[in-house]
A = this chain, B = another copy of it.
Amino acid sequence: MRLRKISGAVVRRLPLYLRVLEDATRDGDKELMSSQELGERAGVSPALVRKDLAWFGEFGKQGVGYDVNNLKAELRRILHLDRDIPIAIVGVGSLGHALARYFRRRHAADPGFHLNIVALFDQDPEKQGEVIDGLAVESPEMIDARTKELGLRMAIIAVPAEAAQEVVDRCVAAGIRLLLNFAPVKLTVPDGVHMVNADVSLELQRLAYYLRD
């Protein structure tokens, strides 16, 4: 059961809340957290924390706060992070290669980390066959077969801009509906496919605030 109207802005904050709760339990056994503290750590107002979470149920007790372990479990369930998600990386240049290694090591080290890179693709024949943390790079022609075989649900697009649309089309045709795009180019996807663009301009503009004369 899911409300359809939940905005992207709310969804964007849920992983932040989850991270705050995970950090809090890693540092010690914190049992309760107020919306005030959760908001401060996540960089949003307590009112917004309460409003965001209210979309999904009643998790907190007034004057007591949230049960940290319970809310953590609920957020994982809401975000489908309570089980492994099979993910592909398309393009293993310096970025794709680094992401593959980072995520595969993190997944191996932490049983609670469910982002699972299980397929790597690159159109460069010299890269095909290369093994990155136990996983061989394959031709993008294998995307369709591997999606069916491995149940791929997400793809990280780390190819050059001019190759990105073709790669995305191939992923979508194979049935992958969730895409994280690093190619700095505007891509088209059909309805029902969610694509997040890693937005480098916004990050640089944010950094520019800290320029001094």
| Shortest Cβ distance from residue A3 to the other chain B in the assembled complex, whole angstroms | 12
Whole-angstrom distance between the alpha carbons of A211 and B177 in the complex? 8
What's the number of copies of this chain in the assembled complex? 2
Contact B202 A198 (CB under 8 A): no
| Shortest Cβ distance from residue A10 to the other chain B in the assembled complex, whole angstroms | 9
Contact B43 A184 (CB under 8 A): no
User: Which of B14, B85, B95, B101 has a CB less than 8 Å from the CB of A158?
Assistant: B95
Whole-angstrom distance between the alpha carbons of A203 and B87 in the complex? 13
Interface string of A176-206 (1 = CB under 8 A from B): 0111101111000000001010101111111
Interface size counted on chain A using CB atoms at 8 A: 63
Interface centre among A98, A179, A185 (most CB of B within 10 A): A98
Can you offer 5 A-B residue contacts whose CB atoms are under 8 A?
Answer: A11-B206, A19-B202, A78-B209, A179-B207, A180-B204
Contact B101 A161 (CB under 8 A): yes
